[in-house]
Structure 1
């Protein structure tokens, strides 16, 4: 018999906004009484729509207090709260899996996001209501769309694993200690949890670890049914969605609001789903020349660009799915059975064309380029050379170079931003490449391809040198791998015959031998990651509408800002961030003897993203006189363009520190632009002996309508400090 916790402390929190897993604001608290009842009547949120959640800790379900009890119910926006709420094991599983990426680094009860990804957190909170109903404490959720399928048995089994500890005699009981031991992550993060909430987060974050041992614990107290009949190989949760005109979908993309878009070649339509999986496209969007659409991408305005293999054209749709182009309006430029479409930081549209190998047209595989107005920038036969052959996959690197997967010759190609082939005539080969069809560039500057016949993936560096072996990288459930994507931690996610496979930045396998499985997956084709850390897969199925679906693996990946216009980066402004963290390029230095140790060119700092949209970049200054040091930087873009491409209504914030705090420094960050001969606009000043360590450069009133070109000038005035090391860190952007 299930016994509620008496004497548990119930706290109502508003989510943190200073980083992932940041400290929340306590709004109210109470203690559970007889029967586990509680009431919170008065509290105030700021703003009104802030996301809020409940955590219940401690109390007793039996003869003694159990400090290992910790449960959560995520409620959603403060101005739309339910009147009655259950906090139990099911709501905890739903909350933890959906919000996992916003609970790390973890302190019990902390949920937060950087200010630049509050939308990702809000979308994750909405996902909770697909998994569980907080008013009843049961799965599935009350907002699960019609036709969607949630993994109810898996949710209940996880809930029973926690219930065994919660319903035990205390934290030292075999049930609690068994859970805490089995949930302890592998080294080097092998900190043993001491409460059920932390244990469940450890399981969500390490879904393969001790999966069978954890399943065994679920039989001790089966409070929730139905349950799994046998131990799973992993503990991911996948929801499956239908409708919206899905008809053998083969390509997906995520827009800035977290909506999911998919192409349907069979019916020449495009589908749209909300972040919660609600179909928004009826029977599918049509018109605008859509004809066997193969892929799509989202531009900076939120418009959707679609590559049509049926009539060798492009279609532009508004954010509501309305055609912005007339049929066959955007043609030419070498379009020939267009396959993958990507958009760069300047809203140029690039397309990999399969050509003769796919349509018998006699036209060679090539690369097309169009402006955001649909004007062709590539010649009539497209950009050719570099080994292009039956080209299927396409991706951008941090400098705007194009990388293409060539199915026809087991090779990949590289082209510059001007459309000039960088790779040799035969392309780059080796590394186990075998009819590659999809390609991605990760935040660690590595290029990855999927090889369906080889059940493998291959990796190369940006110079075209193979990093993987002659057989590629295998394992992790790779079976007929197709779409490949990278998250902001540089982990690779691959759509496979069984669902998804995951590999870390170094290519080490993270998924089990069977992959992350979704029982509803059927011929997965493409894969995408959203700003909540959800992994989405387009399932082509068997050609029937019933088996044409989208799968969503909940909260398993590191969030990325969507849409992205280069390598997927941490979830903050990708107009600025191009490779997961800031990389600066020195435009020029002005100092006696040019003594700055970072030479002109790509500055490769020793820097790592900390998950909060911040980085540390070291600027080394070796001179020891009192002469002013001036360095002009830009953020990534074309190497020939020494400026920042900055959209309107954005600001940059600088946190400046020195490793020699006993010395005096005076630093200026100056904002220049727009134009090729920019003028000084504004500056912020930092003094090492002041308290102003977070100067903000607000450019809202400076940027004209549309995108413009700017650059930053860093000026340091050292005072007789030999070997000075000065850092600029926590550079953040915000819409």
Structure 2
């Protein structure tokens, strides 16, 4: 059975804190460098003495046991020193657990003192704090507090198992790097990226992060451990037994008991600023904007094998929405932690006004569709520039000619997908056809007529190598065999102005129905699209907003799914548990639906039932109008803020990517035929 919501740290991990020969640090291999790490355990400004501090090397691979590298006990002032041998592997992820035992004076009547079991062996107390060393240079003094614990719980939420933290490369290493975007382990403060624009005071995430830290402090110094564990317990799961595991449970099920958890956090106001009111869900949403002068209308995202995010860009960057912008001539590449990759953004290869089309093929090349987007008032004629795709090597070198790869019927390309054989598919929105590029050889590109489709838009390959393409103009989906032979046309099932398509590991297809949005290609204009967007008053889901499920045989479910935060659906992706995630081009929210693997859903749930809170979904004021949504090898959900909430036609583009940290089950990348666990 597939692990559901991540398996939490169990007693086996904390038992390693017990003294005795059987729990001694493992001998270090010859040649490891001796070093030491100073640190301090604190709650806010209060030092915490007497903590059992253990340094681990995370297991290399799913389920692999972590290695104990060193142990110490914090002094009265909270300080400790860990003497250890630094692992030779530069990819090793190190993390610290500080077990405070049971808060003084809080042991239940009749319980053994200080977390001891009936045999006197230490079992670990309810107050456990954590910090991660991997993913950044070790600070001169490591701070372990509630903030660093929340950072570990969210960023590494998908890499915990019966014996501790473990996972495959690159997801585990990338997750460790993301943890440093949340908390500064050298100071215990909010990390610089979270504290400054486009985050900081511009969104509520920093205040939410501090409130989560207050929630753990309610147990660590406030003694309200039992109440925390009762509220954090997810339906169908064991009750957490320590603060770290409680925080991981909240990360996995952020909509569970959200109001009650907020009330508890308010009892121990340790970190500021904090939320003034309870959130609908405890998702942690980080904004990334690269150098702050490059993203303008990000359309979609595709991940390479290392978890780097390639991003299509509608417009040339412009800070003033009233000044007309022409089509973007760059493709963005972000590291897994949200920084510009070396040399990025990349230019050339025929790029102009890229839309929703971007994919990474089996050889690691990134492909981008040049749709010809531009703002009102741009003097460029886009017609000659909207008939190509561009290709880039992993280092950003353009592999397509100056005018891009043309031919094969490419006209206003939108959705793109690649299969395991290296074939690249392009949905030609303006040509009512599909282009097939066998083995990534653009000189062999050919047009595949799809007369059953009008305005092909979204594209996805299933595990059998078949292509699924949505027809935004005639409420349909076309299925093509791996060689391009049409197999079937799907209608019904609630298909209404469909946009994105995603397939799961079982061959089912999930289609987002915008309900109202006519994509601006062919005989549909940007004015038509803008008029439809103008009907979004923010008062509630728009007509036809839903998701359609189609079986591998092409049979749609009788009724579409309409709840869980589906407002104006666009991007859709399936995670490593076959759970479904949906972005919205309005409403500032993400929907999460139970997929076809019911073992990954809460007990009693049905396929399509919302896991995110009904009505609200997972909202965030960091979101604007989102198009692309994809999931990386660490389980982070990435979204493209494509348009501003109130768009101006001269330059409607948004300027950020938004990442829900650790929210989903990790996915092996690049995506080439249904999701798979790394």
Give the TM-score taking structure 1 as reference length: 0.71
The match for 2:143 is 86
Residue 180 of structure 1 is matched in structure 2 by: 229
Q: Cα offset for 1:62?
A: 4.2
Query: What's the counterpart of residue 421 of structure 2?
Result: 346
Q: For 2:135 and 2:82, how far apart are their aligned partners in 1?
A: 16
* 2:457 partner SS: strand
Aligned twin of 1:495: 583
Moved over 6 A (4+): 142-146
Note closer, same or farther for the CA distance 1:225–1:522 as it changes in structure 2 (3 Å cut). Answer: same
CA contact (8 A) 2:298 2:654 kept: no
Give the SS at the match of 1:450: strand
Aligned pairs for 1:624-635 within 5 A: none
Distance 1:541 1:46 in 2: 46
Q: Distance in 2 between matches of 1:372 and 1:234?
A: 42
TM-superposed CA distance for 1:32, in Å, is 1.1
Q: Answer with 548-557 or 516-525: which moved more.
A: 516-525
Unpaired runs of at least 5, structure 1: 170-174, 356-362, 572-735
User: What residue in structure 1 maps to residue 603 of structure 2?
Assistant: none
The 2-side partners of 1:148 and 1:185 are apart by: 29
Q: How big is the shift at 1:146?
A: 6.8
Give the Cα separation in 1 of the matches to 2:365 and 2:506: 29
- Kept in 1: contact 2:353–2:370 (CA 8 A): yes
Report 1:326-725 matches (<5 A).
326-355=401-430, 363-378=431-446, 382-385=447-450, 387-423=452-488, 427-453=489-515, 454-469=544-559, 472-496=560-584, 497=586, 498-505=588-595, 506-512=607-613, 513-542=615-644, 547-571=654-678
Question: 1:143: how far off?
Answer: 8.7
C-alpha contact 2:52 2:73 (8 A) present in aligned 1: yes
Residue deviations 1:611-654, cap 9 Å, x none? xxxxxxxxxxxxxxxxxxxxxxxxxxxxxxxxxxxxxxxxxxxx
Note if contact 1:452-1:480 (Cα within 8 Å) is conserved in structure 2: yes
Against the structure 1 CA distance between its residues 442 and 98, is the aligned structure 2 distance closer, same or farther, given a 3 Å change threshold?
Answer: same
- Answering whether residue 285 of structure 2 is matched by residue 227 of structure 1, we say no
1:163 aligns with 2:264: no
SS at match of 1:533: coil
* Distance across 1 between alignment mates of 2:306 and 2:352: 26
- Please name the residue that 2:358 is paired with: 296
CA distance in 1 between counterparts of 2:104 and 2:159 reads: 33
* Partners of 2:611 and 2:506 in 1: CA distance: 17
Q: Determine if contact 2:478/2:490 at 8 Å carries over to the other structure.
A: yes
Q: Please, which of 73, 84, 98 is the counterpart of residue 131 of structure 2?
A: 73
Q: Is the 8 Å Cα contact of residues 70 and 82 (structure 2) preserved in structure 1?
A: yes
CA shift in 2, pair 1:402/1:387, >3 Å: same
Distance (Å, rounded) in 2 between the aligned partners of 1:207 and 1:55: 23
Distance 2:490 2:401 in 1: 38
Distance 1:144 1:24 in 2: 32
1:495 shift after superposition = 0.9
CA contact (8 A) 2:315 2:653 kept: no
Q: Work out the CA distance in 2 between the residues paired with 1:515 and 1:430.
A: 25
Counterpart-to-counterpart distance in 1, 2:367 and 2:68: 44
1:353–1:368 contact (8 Å) kept in structure 2: no
CA offset digits 1:338-388 (Å, max 9, x no partner): 111111111111111112xxxxxxx4434443442312342xxx2123622
CA-CA distance at 1:192 after TM superposition: 1.3
State the partner residue of 1:605.
none
How far 1:145 moved relative to its partner? 8.2
CA distance in 2, matches of 1:248, 1:60: 51
Distance in 2 (alpha carbons) for counterparts of 1:331 and 1:144: 45
Shift of 1:69: 0.9
**Distance across 2 between alignment mates of 1:137 and 1:515:** 31
Q: CA deviation at 1:252?
A: 1.2
Residue 139 in structure 1 maps to residue 181 in structure 2 = no
- Residue 304 of structure 2 is matched in structure 1 by 255
The 8 Å contact of residues 6 and 60 in structure 1, kept in 2 or not, is answered as no
**Distance of 1:147 and 1:558 partners within structure 2:** 26
Structure with greater contact order relative to length (CA < 8 Å, sep ≥ 6) = 2
1:171-199, CA deviations, whole angstroms, 9 ceiling, x for partnerless residues?
xxxx1111111111112x2x112211111
Among residues 181, 194, 207, which one is paired with 1:130 in the alignment? 181
| Residue 139 (structure 1) shift | 1.1
Bigger shift: residues 212-221 or 146-155: 146-155
1:364 and 1:398 mapped to 2: Cα distance? 25
Long gaps (5+) in structure 2: 1-43, 107-113, 116-124, 317-327, 373-384, 516-543, 596-606
Alignment check: 8 A CA contact 2:411 2:428 kept: yes
* Deviation of 1:463 (Å): 1.0
Q: Supply the distance in 2 between the matched residues of 1:164 and 1:143 (Cα, whole angstroms).
A: 23
- Alpha-carbon separation, structure 2, partners of 1:438 and 1:504: 18
| Cross-structure match for 2:152 | 95
Change in 2 beyond 3 A, CA 1:481/1:106: farther
The answer to whether the 8 A contact 1:389-1:407 is kept is: yes
Partner deviation per Cα, 1:105-139 (whole Å, 9 max, x = no partner): 455xx1101xxx22110000000110000111111
Asked if the contact 1:255–1:298 (Cα under 8 Å) also holds between the matched residues in 2, the reply is yes
Q: Does residue 273 of structure 1 match 2:323? A: no
Q: Given the alignment of the two structures, is residue 12 of structure 1 paired with residue 44 of structure 2, yes or no?
A: no
- Alpha-carbon distance in 1 for matches of 2:184, 2:652: 29
Task: Name which of 373, 389, 403 aligns with 1:314.
Answer: 389
- CA shift for structure 1 position 48: 4.8
Q: Normalising by the residue count of structure 2, what TM-score does the alignment of the two structures yield?
A: 0.76
Q: Residues 443 and 282 of structure 1: is their aligned pair in 2 closer, same or farther, counting only changes over 3 Å? A: same
Q: How many angstroms does 1:41 deviate by? A: 2.7
Offset at 1:81?
Answer: 2.0
Q: What CA deviation, in whole Å up to 9, does each residue of 1:456-497 have, x standing for no partner?
A: 10001011101251xx10111111110111111111111112
Q: Alignment partner of 1:422: what SS?
A: strand
With over 3 angstroms needed to count, the CA separation of the structure-2 counterparts of 1:276 and 1:185, relative to structure 1, is same
Q: How many angstroms does 1:17 deviate by? A: 2.1
CA deviation digits over 1:534-555, x for unaligned, max 9?
Answer: 0000111336598421000001
Q: Provide the aligned length of Structure 1 versus Structure 2.
A: 541
Distance in 2 between the 1:142 and 1:148 partners?
Answer: 7
- Cα distance in structure 2, aligned partners of 1:77 and 1:369: 38
Larger displacement relative to structure 2 (232-241 or 132-141) = 132-141
Taking only aligned residues, the RMSD between alpha carbons, in angstroms, comes to: 2.2
